[in-house]
Structure 1
C-alpha cells in the first residue's frame, strides 16, 4: 500500500475510533496477508501489507458514508414527492383560475346586457314603467317579473363577488404552492449534492485498495453481516413467528424477489434499477396498495407490528434514522436494495440494526 493510501486509511481510523477496532482485531477470524517479497533494488519500495484491523476500519467508514448517502436519498425522495404534489396542485389551481375567469367574464357580459336593456328603455327602472302603465292587469303581471328580476340581479352581483374572491384566493394559494415548490427544489438539490459527495468519498476510499484487499474487504462485509444475523437469530426472536403471508403480501414478495440482481440506484423506482424504498413501494404498488415513497415515511405512516407477529411482505426498517428498508420474505430473510455498487439481493433480516417492523395494507 502506498504512502498516500495508508494516509487515507489512517484518516479513516481516526474517524471511527481505531483504538476500539484495533483492540478487537485479534479475535477476528482472518489472517494477515503474507508479506510481499522484497523486490530487486532497482524496483520501487515495497508496499506495507494492510491488516484486517485496518480493513475493518475502512469497512466501517465506507458503511457510514453509504448510510449517510441513504439518509440523503430519503431526503431527496421526500422532496421529490412533495414537489410532484405541489406541481399537481399548482396545475389544479391554474385550471380553477382559468375556469373562474371565464365564469367572471360571462357574469360581466350578463350584467352589461342588463345595463344596456335599461338604457334602451329610457333609463327608467322597471318599477317606474309599471307605475306609468294604464293597464291594471299588465301592472299586476309585471310586478312578479320585477320581483324576479330584482332577485336575479342580486344573485348575479353576489355570484360575481364570490367568483372574484375565489380567483383572488386561487392566486394566493398558487403563489404559496410555488414558494413551497421552489423550497423543495432547493432541498432536492442539497440532498443530491450530499448523496454524490458521500458516494464519491466511499468509492474513492474503496478504489485505493488493491485487488486482494478488496476481496478481503468484501469478506469482512459478509462476515459482519453473518455475525449480526447469527446474533439476532440466537436471541430466539423468530421462535414465535408463525404467520403466513396475506394474498397481497405474497404478491409484494413475488414482485420484490423478481427484482433480485438489478442494480441499486438512488432515487430509482424501477423497473431496471431501485433504491431501498423504491423497491418496497413498487412491490406493494404491484400488490395493489399505495404506500409512502420513503423509508422514513413508511416508518411513520404504516402500522407497526411486533417482530413475533411479522409476516412475509412486512417491511423492516433499519437504523435509528429509518434510513433503510427491506421486505421480510420469511425464514429470517429479507429482500432489499442495499447501496450503490450493489444489486437487489436476499440477506439476513438481522444483518443490520432493526428499528422496527411495519405492515402495509393493515
Structure 2
C-alpha cells in the first residue's frame, strides 16, 4: 500500500512538472504572439502611410508631366533655373524610388510577421493541448491516490505515517553517518538567506499542483518564488532548475541551494542547513521541514553561483 501510494504521488508530481513546463510555454508564447501581432499592426500602419505617400508622389509626377531632366534643360530659357529645376527633379525621383523600396520592405516585413505569428499560434495551441493532457493525468493520479487513502482506516493511516517517518529517519541517519557534508553549519549567501527566509515563512501552507503562492505551492513553485523574492529569478520547474542552474557538489551544499530529487528530477526542495530541507511535498500535505535524505537525491544546484 505504501509503495503504491508513493508511486502514484510521484507520478502525479512528474505530471505536475510537465504541466508547469507546458504552462510556462503557453505564457511565453502568448506574449510572443501578442508582440508579433502588435508589431504587425505597426508595420501595417507604416505600409498604409507609405502607400499614401507613394500615391501622392505618383500624382505629383503625373501633374508635372514626367518630363526628363535633359528635356527640361533644353526647353528652359534660363540655364540657372533649369539646373535648379533639374536638381529638384532628380531629388524628387530619388525620393520616389526610396518610397517604393520602403514600401516593398514594409510589405515583406508584414508578410514575415504574419507568418511568424501564425507559427507561434500553432505552437501555442500544441502547448495548450500538452498542458491540458498533463492536467488530466495529474487529476486522475491524485484522485486514485486519494481514493486509496480514503479507504484506509485510522489505524492503517497511522501505521502508514509511521512507516514514512521511519523510512525517512533511517535514510537521514545513514546520510549523516556517511559524513558526506563535513560542516552542517555553513552560512548562506545574502540572496540565499533571503530565499530561505521566504521559504520558511510559507510553512503550513497547502500543496496545490501548479501553484506559485501566495496561499499555496507545489514543489518548484515554492523554490522559484523563494528565489524570486530574493531578487534572483530562476526557472519555474524542477527539471529546468536542474538543467539550467549551476551544479555544486553535495559536500559543498549551503542554505538556499536547491536539492533535486529522483532520476527524472521531478521534485525539488530548498536546503535550510543542518541537514534539513523545506519543501512542498505532495497533495494533501503542507509546506514543511524534512530531512534532506528522506528521498533519493539526484544533485544540488545553486541559483546564485
Q: How high is the TM-score relative to the length of structure 2? A: 0.97
Q: Deviations over 1:233-254 (max 9, x none)?
A: 1211121456320100000000
Q: In the alignment, is the contact (CA less than 8 A) between 2:72 and 2:86 conserved in 1?
A: no
Residue 146 of structure 1 and its aligned partner are, at CA, apart by 2.3
The verdict on how the C-alpha distance between 1:127 and 1:192 changes in structure 2, with shifts beyond 3 A counting, is: farther
Moved more, 272-281 or 210-219: 210-219
1:3 is aligned to: none
The structural deviation recorded for 1:130 is 4.3
Does the residue aligned with 2:247 lie in a helix, a strand or coil? strand
- Output the CA distance in 2 between the equivalents of 1:128 and 1:222: 101
In the aligned structure 2, how far is the partner of 1:281 from the partner of 1:131?
79
CA-based RMSD = 1.3
Secondary structure of 2:65's aligned partner: coil
Residue 218 of structure 1: how far off its partner (Å)? 1.1
TM-score for both structures, normalised by structure 1:
0.82
1:124: Cα distance to partner? 3.5
Deviates more, 1:201-210 or 1:65-74: 201-210
- Which residue of the partner structure matches residue 40 of structure 1? none
Query: Residue 350 of structure 1 aligns to a residue in which SS?
Result: helix
Question: For the Cα contact (< 8 Å) 1:241–1:309, is it kept in 2?
Answer: no
1:268-293 CA-to-partner distances (Å, cap 9, x unmatched) read 00000000000000000000011000
Q: 1:348 aligns with which of 285, 291, 295?
A: 291
Q: 1:360 aligned to 2:303?
A: yes
Q: Structure 1 unaligned runs (5+)?
A: 1-57
Q: Cα offset for 1:127?
A: 5.5
| Paired residues of 1:127 and 1:146 also in contact (CA < 8 A) | no
Corresponding residue number in structure 1 for 2:131: 188
In structure 2, the residue matched to 1:169 is: 112
CA distance in structure 2 between the partners assigned to 1:131 and 1:350 by the alignment? 97
What does residue 65 of structure 2 align with? 122
Alpha-carbon distance in 1 for matches of 2:164, 2:66: 92
2:15 aligned partner: 72
Matched pairs, number:
305
Provide structure 2 residue ranges, at least 5 long, that are not aligned to the other structure: none
Whose Rg is larger? Answer: 1
Greater relative CO (CA pairs within 8 A, separation 6+): 2
Which residue of 1 is the match for residue 100 of structure 2?
157
